[in-house]
Chain A
């Protein structure tokens, strides 16, 4: 079954803790993205990667880190430096250079207690 998987679906974290969100895809897509969604606001880009071992900051990268060691995986770490981490996090993929459409995973809801 092809697609994008994000885990866990719900995540709770205490203040001051780092936490890593998983995003895996078996679509053989080249590019992967992380977005954050807050109530009443549009999706905002955190980081993106167009190729393995390379990634770029998006509009709101502060307090987050990523890695892209494998084509299939693009984990996002929310660090203790992120001041307001409670949000819905969405991973997306795009097939290859020259294509435009991004496809989204099911999301992870992170709550900081």
Chain B
């Protein structure tokens, strides 16, 4: 059974204080790993898809990386508007288009 674990559960940062979120996964054969951002009371917003170890994607202050066992979401010099819950999900090759989600990391950036 696919498993996705995100850590830490919550992260409090000062504005400008860079940090990383972790997503570790157990899957038979990875088709893709997805990162989403979710604001309170809203649907998740797609950020990145990573397909193979060593791949990196960037968007503004966010950078996602992938290894064979985990993915990191690096937040560089965060601003208060980066406060949100960040969700990680994996798609197994044999599971069609089913996604398995982690529990998320709640990020709070204080000015």
Sorted nearest first, the 8 A-B pairs with minimum C-beta distance are A42-B101, A104-B43, A43-B101, A104-B44, A106-B43, A107-B43, A100-B32, A42-B103
B44 A90 Cβ-Cβ under 8 A? yes
B46 near A42 with CB under 8 A, answer: no
Instruction: Place the interface of chain A in its size category.
Output: 20 to 34
A31 within 8 A of B: yes
Query: B43: which of A45, A58, A101, A105 is its contact (CB, 8 Å)?
Result: A105
Q: Is B87 an interface residue (CB 8 A)?
A: yes
For A101, list chain B residues within 8 Å (CB): 34, 46, 49
B4 touches A104 (CB 8 A): no
Counted as pairs of residues, one from A and one from B, with CB atoms less than 8 Å apart, the total is: 56
For A48, the chain B residues whose CB sits under 8 A away are 97-98
Contact status B97-A103, CB under 8 Å: no
Q: Give bound CA distance, A6 to B89, whole Å.
A: 22
A3-45 residues at the B interface, CB under 8 angstroms = 4, 6, 31, 40-45
The answer to whether B91 and A106 have CB atoms under 8 Å apart is no
Does the CB pair A107–B42 fall under 8 Å?
Answer: yes
Contacts of A104 in B (CB 8 A): 36, 43-46
Q: Which of A4, A101, A105, A109 has the most CB of B within 10 A?
A: A101
B-chain residues with CB within 8 Å of residue A100 when the two chains form the complex: 31-32, 34, 49, 91, 97
Least CB distance, B51 to chain A, in whole angstroms = 9
Task: Tell me if A94 and B42 are in contact (CB < 8 A).
Answer: no
Chain A residues with CB under 8 A of B98: 45, 48, 58
Q: List 16 A-B contacts (CB under 8 A).
A: A6-B43, A41-B103, A42-B89, A42-B104, A43-B44, A43-B87, A43-B101, A48-B98, A58-B98, A94-B97, A100-B31, A100-B32, A100-B49, A102-B99, A104-B43, A104-B46
Residues of A contacting B96 in the complex (Cβ-Cβ under 8 angstroms): 50
User: Do residues A42 and B31 form an inter-chain contact, with CB atoms below 8 A?
Assistant: no
